[in-house]
Structure 1
């Protein structure tokens, strides 16, 4: 799953990173790897189901830039590439503002296409937070996936009426 995330970053980082004269060519791959690390770390830190709901809502509405989780991921990415690769602040912020929301939006859109992309934001969040998503269903491994499944049903998030909140419910929220 992380390989697919990195491929998506590489596809969308061509103009933002590779063709950017302010990013030395020898750092192109490492900057994109840092984007992946920042996204993975940021999504791993989503502990509250309302944060996950907010992120999915932002993706669905095409407003990822204004989401606090996306802003935090972008800020961390900006700081990391400034520190590690000597990229100036305005260039780093510009790269982050372009790349991070775009990648998260495309992840969300892939999940909305009935799984045709074989990769989705819900599955990534579930796998990163220890809740594991198996076939779109949160497994009982604890972590965020298990918490969302149990708490979400009680909060009215069980859109398909099967007693738990899983990727199927999230998909129904986006339609």
Structure 2
């Protein structure tokens, strides 16, 4: 939890600790929206609670210098999950490509990943972990990431084939 009034520090650039959001996404959104120059590691838990991707678009991570992004949904895959909404939320959480080094996606409920996952413009992205994405049928083109050094893929039970779309058109792993 961040101290009250921290969003008033509009020129705040760096937080020494990871920003972790659990349960109260509305507070997070209003807090983070105003911090335009922020450099941070961000972990968002409870994304399944969002009712609309517009709720999280206000954060505009593409304008912030996020070095690590951890996105987590509930690990319960039932009828309450909306795969299109979850894809829209992940699209809305697209960070700025110049800064991201670590990406973790946990319990995402979509069948496919947004186009930005695996985009070679994320040239500093070295670590990717994708786990417990129970509905995912296809992997993103992670072979397109020019600096990828560590890749962890766990518990993607619906992925049956890993074809050329996973490698993309560039060289895989430097």
Higher relative contact order structure (alpha carbons within 8 Å, sequence separation ≥ 6): 1
Indicate the structure with greater helix content: 1
> Which TM-score bucket, shorter chain as reference?
under 0.3
Q: TM-score, normalised by structure 1?
A: 0.27
Q: TM-score, normalised by structure 2?
A: 0.27
Indicate the structure with greater strand content: 2
